[in-house]
Amino acid sequence: MRGAGWSGTLPIPSGQKTPTPAEELARAALELRQGRGHQGLVEVLRGSEVFVETEHDEHGSPVVTTMADGPDGVRCLPVFSSQRWLAEYLLRRGHTGPAHYGTLSGAELLDEMLPQLPPGTCVLLDPTAEHTVVLPPLPGVVPAEIAVSLERAEGDDDG
């Protein structure tokens, strides 16, 4: 019998699925929580789509709202790796009715949105998740013009 006249390869599934961008972001956040440094998370965040809760100002334009985190007045912007985590956050806050949100890349978040917010605003990733992390506005995370220097902050305590 002659050959069929074609050949090819058949990929055999390895049993492992490719993680979604939200799963990659959560994995990188867990690694940060385990002390493996922030740079991996920043790289994944910059390439990911994220979600932010929005409200509308008096002109009907969408705006984001930061929240104070603790008595020292540190401001945080809640940011979500998926609609699921945004919905969980809203439900835990007792939100009812339709929710308004915006999507942007992590690069847009760090390079364009954060500079428009109050100085020192941190990113609070997935506030209700086990992989929740706070990314302070440090060099290498945000643009240099809004980055907070650790040396300067520690020197302020010397009073």
- Indicate the residue type of 29: A
C-alpha separations of 135 from 5, 49, 70, 124 in Å = 58, 16, 15, 6
Domain ranges of the chain: 21-156
What does the pLDDT read at residue 154? Answer: 47
Q: Are 75 and 120 in contact (CB under 8 A)?
A: yes
pLDDT digits (tens, 9 = 90+) for 118-151: 888 999 999 999 999 999 888 888 888 888 876 6
What mean pLDDT is predicted for residues 97-102? Answer: 88
Question: Does the pLDDT at position 5 exceed 50?
Answer: yes
What does the pLDDT read at residue 158? Answer: 46
pLDDT digits (tens, 9 = 90+) for 33-74: 888 777 789 999 999 999 999 888 888 888 888 887 655 678
* Three-state DSSP class for residue 84: helix
pLDDT digits (tens, 9 = 90+) for 9-28: 566 666 667 888 899 999 99
- DSSP-derived pairing of the beta strands 75-79 and 122-125: parallel
